[in-house]
Structure 1
Amino acid sequence: MIKIVESSNEADTDADRVNPRTRRVREAVLSVAVEVLVEHGAHEVTAARIAEQADVARTTVYRHWPDQRSLLLATIDALTTPHRRTESVGSLAEDVRVALVQLRSRITTHDVRSVFGALATHAAHDEAFSDAQRRFIEQLTQPTRDVLNASQQRGALQADVDCDLEARLLTGPILHQHLAWHDTVTDSVLDLVVRRWLTTHDDP
């Protein structure tokens, strides 16, 4: 289940942040916008459609998001769930595999392809979408960075290892398999990624 969270938006006002009714309306609109995005694509995230499905006036949508660009950015940010630190469960190999299994679950449970496609369409021409794309990918891969940082802190991973870079190297093949090739990320794929990575990062 996707959890909707408040995301900062330049159209917000101080009153919006303290008015409970305004916040509830805003959350309801974003919840509908998320459903439309993942079910029908970015081109359907319009003020007219969202207002109709959320049963609010179109002016209510425009008050928070004056154009489709700002509405779509807010919708994408609403998909980002609050991150909870991923705890270590065992050896370096076990921790890495658990993190990749979690990644596989997240990208197959939610329609990540639709979101990523919407971001990719706009990111090349709009810095705000490029930043949103980066935040979205970082949120997906954060658990892998968590286990690498924890392994490094307990001495299971060399101190000079760049955990951010290694997390990208580990998660990159999984994301590419799912997003680019539209192939199933099987257990054998996960095991292969972990084995190859461990050849250069075995427990010291």
Structure 2
Amino acid sequence: MSYSTDPRAARSREAILVAARRLLADEGPAAVTHQRLAQQAGVGRATVYRHWPRPEQLLLDVMTGADLPLFKEPATPVRPWLHRQLRQLADELMPPAVAGLSLTLMQSAIWDPEIARRRDESNQVISDRIRAAVRSAVDSGELATGVDPAELPAMLVGPVVYRTAMQRAEVSDDLIDRLLDGVGTWRR
């Protein structure tokens, strides 16, 4: 039986991911080491190394293992929906473990082409979803904007990431409203 289809390998991989999520939530990215994962998952350290030679690869799998829930299925009116999505993003990025992990992965993407590729895929999904929502708001007459659609994700998501991960500060609803006002004139 090949390694990729071996049910034991699949079980150990899932046990390691569960342990990584738990360690990440409880203690932050620094706790996600091969040794700690092996202990927590009840597998040998070599098994962890076989699945993930570098901790950054594991952290990326922990973060990107599920479908991105944010900015999915826009609702009308679009502005309150976008506000809720930005609020959820801000709230999810606030725990120190998540903020630290986000920064670790951003740094790792500079040198690791695989991490950069996966980061770019996630960014593309979020960008496409935001542009589709704003296009819907413009088409329905809810929003008048002259903003380049390519700039929208940076204008909306960028400040939230900076505020939470870099400044380690809360994102107020007032800030989210100002971000939304920056993309155009909303009909309320």
Under TM normalisation by the shorter chain, which class is it? Answer: 0.7 to 0.9
Counterpart of 2:160?
174
Structure 1: gaps (5+ residues): 1-13
**Matched AA of 1:190:** I
Look up the SS of the partner of 2:72 in the other structure: coil
2:68 is matched with which residue: 83, 90, 109?
83
Supply the distance in 1 between the matched residues of 2:135 and 2:10 (Cα, whole angstroms): 36
Counterpart of 1:72?
56
**Matched AA of 2:101:** V
Supply the distance in 2 between the matched residues of 1:97 and 1:184 (Cα, whole angstroms): 15
Classify 1:19/1:100 alpha carbon distance in 2 versus 1 (closer, same or farther; 3 Å): same
Counterpart of 2:177?
191
Supply the distance in 2 between the matched residues of 1:115 and 1:136 (Cα, whole angstroms): 15
Classify 1:147/1:17 alpha carbon distance in 2 versus 1 (closer, same or farther; 3 Å): farther
Calculate the TM-score normalised by the size of structure 1: 0.70
Supply the distance in 2 between the matched residues of 1:96 and 1:147 (Cα, whole angstroms): 8
Classify 1:154/1:78 alpha carbon distance in 2 versus 1 (closer, same or farther; 3 Å): farther
For residues 27-176 of structure 1, what are the structure 2 equivalents within 5 Å? Answer: 27-65=14-52, 67=53, 69=54, 71-80=55-64, 81-83=66-68, 86-108=72-94, 111-135=97-121, 144-151=130-137, 154=140, 156=142, 162-176=148-162
Supply the distance in 1 between the matched residues of 2:139 and 2:162 (Cα, whole angstroms): 29
Structure 1 residue 39 displacement after superposition: 4.2
Supply the distance in 2 between the matched residues of 1:153 and 1:17 (Cα, whole angstroms): 47
Pairwise CA RMSD of aligned residues? 3.3
**Matched AA of 1:176:** Y
Classify 1:34/1:138 alpha carbon distance in 2 versus 1 (closer, same or farther; 3 Å): farther
Classify 1:32/1:138 alpha carbon distance in 2 versus 1 (closer, same or farther; 3 Å): farther
Supply the distance in 2 between the matched residues of 1:188 and 1:87 (Cα, whole angstroms): 24
**Matched AA of 2:91:** S
How many percent of aligned residue pairs carry the same amino acid? 25
Look up the SS of the partner of 1:185 in the other structure: coil
Structure 2: gaps (5+ residues): none
How many residues of Structure 1 are paired with residues of Structure 2 in the alignment?
A: 185
Supply the distance in 2 between the matched residues of 1:61 and 1:32 (Cα, whole angstroms): 11
Supply the distance in 1 between the matched residues of 2:5 and 2:112 (Cα, whole angstroms): 31
Structure 1 residue 174 displacement after superposition: 1.3
